[in-house]
Chains A and B, each alone.
Chain A
């Protein structure tokens, strides 16, 4: 177990290093940050003076060396736009994004398991076919279209839901959350549904396919022959084995979901880090862009580690440290 963690930690450091190197080397292609900082009439000489002041005229290795030196002390640079340490800005926006991912995960887990299991058990029923049909549509409609459609229908036409933004927040244990207010939940519904709409069909189909396969297996047949209760067969023996690949895919997909928050948050003006990132790209706020990529890299590494741990719990035959 300890060996596993150390190995993971080493991997994480390597991943972050590679990400920082890549993001640092592409920043020159993102555009000129000075353009976003000064008005259009400012002369080239003035811009060069500012560029010198920011250290942007130094050779790449000097800039990167400075960055690494500061990064090792926990300083990922200062955002040009927010004028605050980039890491603080991102961590300040993280709760909003996690809320969104949490909301979407609730919807995905709450719907995909029953729907997937039902359509595996009753593949011929009209309802199963409807679920499969709708999931095809769901998987092919781009998320921003779903989002705008939802806003149009529920906010403008029906007037039921707020059209943008995050609701009232309360502070708990030093973290701001909107999950404890009614206003917060009403603001969360539409963005969470749009974000869930990309992953939900995938999980329904995955669970259905896996479950159908498991139901054909010898031990399920044996369980039927043994005369076990139907519920016990479906939900204990079959479902547990179905969940193994689902967890693996799920772990990878949480990372993808964080990536998709960029689109969802932009459409809903959700003040999370995905929206922040897109804005940072538009404004060529390079310190913020680099810091975001590193933080997201960290999230990937952490979720995958957690997934591996859960995997071990569900399937005791998997050894974490690997065999020597």
Chain B
């Protein structure tokens, strides 16, 4: 008996040794740490990064913006209003509870009550349990983005979040501000559990030893995330070897990191579009399409990308980035100063006019410098700009009040779909439906709106793509807004960290699959 025990112990020991031989610790620094451990509290990049580390979605985006099965093994359309998902069997939560359809329903209902996420789940009418591992997701109308939106469904452990906590509050209560059970601890199915957390200082993740995805190449058994707010300090921490992986990397430091031996710079064309909107309610001249076109011709997107963004952005002539269905290859930046001046003359504004402009100064990469550049470009067609830049905390109030004639706005489509841009940025503003919520220009094209609604009901991707590309073209010809560029994404990593395969343009690295070499 004793011998068996020691044999077993020996086996366990050698197993442990094998595991630790290629297990690695990753020290990483982001500009911020997650606001909360509750995946439904805030719809933000930080929350999604955390969700992909500690939970698993039903399906997730792959590098080419296709879909990859995760907790849903496969799915099929049953009828135009129903999508059926077959759930993975034998998956356990961190708590040890089994993952079943019940957890998906629990999470679905919770998402529909989250102020941040309810918009994404509004098109769905019902989630029906067929059996323990099969569910039917129903919509009221044919809906093309079922799969896009399901990437936001990260099943939570319904048993773990049931009952009341020490304060007598329900454990699944969603609190935006204040202490709640779900904001302090979590139980998901994901590759990591949170083992230590001091908000704003450090989060430690430990590999989930029962992770269902045994085919994942990931060998990182511990991740230490430190938020480092200041970009130069973050870069210094990477260069000095104090951390192995950082994001984001400011454009000014790209060269330094790329040149340094033993450290890699990884960049990707991002999906966040930076634009200026021209307020037609405040400025009579902006109602004239020729004036808007003149401005579009006067802005040198390539120049801004080259001089200000140091090449780490992609000049844009539309909102949809490459890879989106609505991306229209034919639309190109159209810098032509002569044409711009001629258009101003035709519109009767040869001598120009004066406008006010506002932009944030700590929201987007180089936002203030970009605004200054645009202002000086407009001076060349005699539009005098009175520019004011503000910290983002104050900027959004001004933006909501439409406080300037031209305002900057950057946008990333939560659904990774072109229609999201149209709905928020260019649709005719309507407080009732919430459309055009961020359309500070008050641009309104009923024709484009009609196509947008059409695309919302079209489930054939090819036809949808054609419709949305048409909208982009219409907006381009009408110069509805001034597109500038898509912000690139950049990460810095020690060469032993094989980060590239797990990174993506949505900026939520799949760290569960990360390989770190010795």
Contact = CB atoms under 8 A, between A and B. Distances in A.
Nearest to B115: A46
B240 interface: yes
Interface in A31-76: 31-32, 35-44, 46, 49-50, 54
A83 B183 contact: yes
Contacts of B199: 81-82
Interface string B71-105: 00000000000000000000000000000000000
Contact of A30 (B115, B232, B393, B431): B393
Interface in A134-176: 148, 151-152, 155-156, 159, 162-165
Interface residues of B, number: 48
A192 interface: no
Contacts of A35: 392-393, 396-397
B397 A32 contact: yes
A271 B200 contact: yes
Contacts of B351: none
Contacts of B36: 83
Interface in B242-289: 242
A208 interface: no
B119 A155 contact: no
Contacts of A81: 35, 199-200
A284 interface: yes
Given A151-B236, A269-B230, A276-B200, A39 B43 contact: yes
B414 interface: yes
Given A44-B437, A78-B177, A267-B230, A164 B397 contact: no
A311 interface: no
B227 A37 contact: no
B239 to A, nearest CB: 5
Interface in B322-350: none
A271 B201 contact: yes
Contact of A31 (B232, B393, B434, B437): B393
Contacts, number: 129
Contacts of B411: 40
Given A41-B414, A78-B178, A83-B177, A36 B393 contact: yes
A282 B393 contact: yes
A203 interface: no
B228 interface: yes
B229 interface: yes
A164 B242 contact: yes
B167 interface: no
Contacts of A32: 393, 396-397
Interface string B392-422: 1111110010000000000100100000000
A84 interface: yes
A35 B43 CA distance: 12
B233 interface: yes
Given A37-B177, A39-B42, A276-B200, A281 B393 contact: yes
A302 B422 CA distance: 57
A279 interface: yes
Contact of A38 (B115, B232, B392, B397): B115
Give the size range of A's interface with the partner.
Answer: 35 or more
A44 B183 contact: no
Given A30-B394, A54-B177, A266 B362 contact: no
Nearest to B431: A44
B195 interface: no
Nearest to A92: B198
B179 A84 contact: yes
A29 interface: yes
Interface in B204-246: 226-230, 232-233, 236-237, 239-242
A275 to B, nearest CB: 8
A43 B237 contact: no
B172 to A, nearest CB: 16
A50 B424 CA distance: 21
Contacts of B362: 282
B393 A283 contact: yes
Contacts of B239: 155-156
A268 interface: yes
Interface string A299-311: 0000000000000
Contacts of B177: 37, 54, 78, 80, 83
Interface in A66-119: 78, 80-84
Contacts of B43: 38-42
Contact of A163 (B116, B180, B233): B233
A164 B431 contact: no
Contact of B178 (A39, A83, A271): A83
B110 interface: no
A268 B233 contact: yes
B227 A148 contact: no
A163 B176 contact: no
Interface in B164-200: 175-180, 183, 198-200
Given A37-B177, A269-B227, 7 more contacts: A31-B395, A38-B116, A39-B42, A41-B424, A43-B434, A163-B236, A269-B228
14 contacts: A31-B396, A36-B393, A37-B177, A38-B116, A41-B437, A84-B179, A155-B239, A159-B241, A163-B236, A164-B226, A267-B230, A279-B200, A283-B393, A284-B393
Chain A to chain B: the 3 pairs with minimum beta-carbon distance, closest first: A31-B393, A39-B43, A155-B240
